[in-house]
Amino acid sequence: MKAAYIHIPFCEHICHYCDFNKFFIKTQPVDEYLAALEKEMQHTIEQKGEQELKTIFIGGGTPTSLTVSQLDKLMNSIHSVLKPTKNLIEFAVEANPDELSLEKLHVLKAAGVNRLSFGVQTFEDDLLKKIGRVHQKKDVLTSFERARAVGFDNISLDLMFGLPHQEKHHVMNSLETAFSLGAEHYSVYSLIVEPKTVFYNLMQKGKLHLPPQEREAEMYELVMDEMERHGLKQYEISNYAKPGFESQHNLTYWSNEDYFGFGAGAHGYVDGIRNVNAGPVKHYLELIDQTGFPYKETHQVTKAEQIEEEMFLGLRKIEGVKSADFQAKYGAAPEALFSTVLEDLEEKGLIVKDDKGIRLTRKGKLLGNEVFQAFLGEL
């Protein structure tokens, strides 16, 4: 069983930190894009055969920037082409709190969407302005209540720390509000300043005032401790859930399993081949029109690359890499392939090994990137 990611690259506003493939919706040919997206899905299914999907995730950009009729068209395309069955475990959609009208919620619910992911980032209105968000705390509370009333019982809230001018008490305030809503899942990420963003340009000019690294680490520890205190299990370095509400779609990525990537700028990984779609909407439309497929890059993943990815993706999960599963998949234990790297990481106190496998320590969670990079190019 495979997963499918569907990218909607449109936004009503562009956030200062976002480096995802996105465009200001008012200048874009949205209806043509949705038609091309349906064609891409059709051609892929014709090529690969009908698929029994286990998860579908619609991300962006902002899927909820679509109008009610456009959202309905997208849902109809998914049902007519991908034909999700009762075996679909999770059908998730990213949502902006200020765009989630009752009509849109009804369209999503009627189409079988069973998980919503709210882009909250912080409940501090001043901080929201500083990071280029246009919603306010009250919008989140209203949309959350509205989604519950429509019958959504699996809602995730995305939060961030390490934001400009953010202090630990801001993080704590946001966590307290988030917990008061009783969501099933929380994703809490540290800010990473990426090239081609407003924040990157400000940083280059010395005008971006971020918390020092030590304070950012304290914020992360605060998040981990508070999540545990509220009965939410950390199952990945940035993700926490009530039992049974872990993101099944994201677990596909971290378990190095196959997934289709549909839409402008989407990435797919199927049968050992990684495809990267053209990002600019015009280029995407042209390729679909000319060839039926929007690939700008296709790469046959080598066994060595697969094994390295298995390690650094698997270690993102709190349960880590299970030695027996790894050996069954690749014919050798991780210790046999990465003995020097693992010894070094263990000496630094970043990982722990036992008879079940290898996983990050608390210190390893704080220095995750150092751990993951250690496996790159090793084989």
pLDDT by residue (tens digit) across 110-164? 999 999 999 999 999 998 998 888 889 999 999 999 999 999 999 999 999 999 9
Q: Does pLDDT of 244 surpass 90?
A: yes
Helix (H) or strand (E) holding 30: helix 30-48
- Cα–Cα distance measured from residue 128 to residue 131, given in angstroms and rounded to the nearest whole number: 5
| pLDDT tens-digit series, residues 250-282 | 999 999 999 999 999 999 999 999 999 999 999
Q: Give residue for tokens 């990267």.
A: 276
pLDDT value for 13: 76
The residues, any chain, with a CB within 8 Å of residue 174's CB and separated by 6 or more, are 120, 122, 123, 124, 159
Q: Beta strands 185-190 and 155-161: pairing type?
A: parallel
pLDDT at 30 over 90: yes
pLDDT digits (tens, 9 = 90+) for 342-364: 999 999 999 999 988 999 999 99
Give the pLDDT band of residue 106 (cuts 50, 70, 90).
very high
**For residues 320-337, average pLDDT:** 94
Q: Are strands 357-360 and 351-353 parallel, antiparallel or unpaired?
A: antiparallel
Cβ(22)–Cβ(58) below 8 Å: no
Question: Span 277-304, mean pLDDT?
Answer: 96
pLDDT of 16? 76
Assign 169 a pLDDT band (cuts: 50, 70, 90). Answer: very high
CATH superfamily of 2-254: tm_1862 like domain (3.80.30.20)
What residue type is 73 in one-letter code?
Answer: K
- pLDDT tens for residues 44-103? 999 999 999 999 999 998 999 999 999 999 999 999 999 999 899 999 999 999 889 999
**Sign of the dihedral defined by the CA atoms of residues 284, 290, 291, 297, in that order:** negative
What is the model's pTM?
0.95
Cα 328 to Cα 50, 323, 325, 332, 356: the distances in Å are 28, 9, 5, 8, 14
pLDDT single digits (tens) 171-220: 999 999 999 999 999 999 998 888 888 787 888 888 888 889 999 999 99
Which structure tokens are listed for 205?
Answer: 């000019």
- CB neighbours of residue 131 within 10 Å: 21
320-373: CATH class? mainly alpha
Burial class of residue 331, CB neighbours in 10 A (0-12, 13-18, 19+): exposed
The domains of the chain are located at 2-254, 320-373
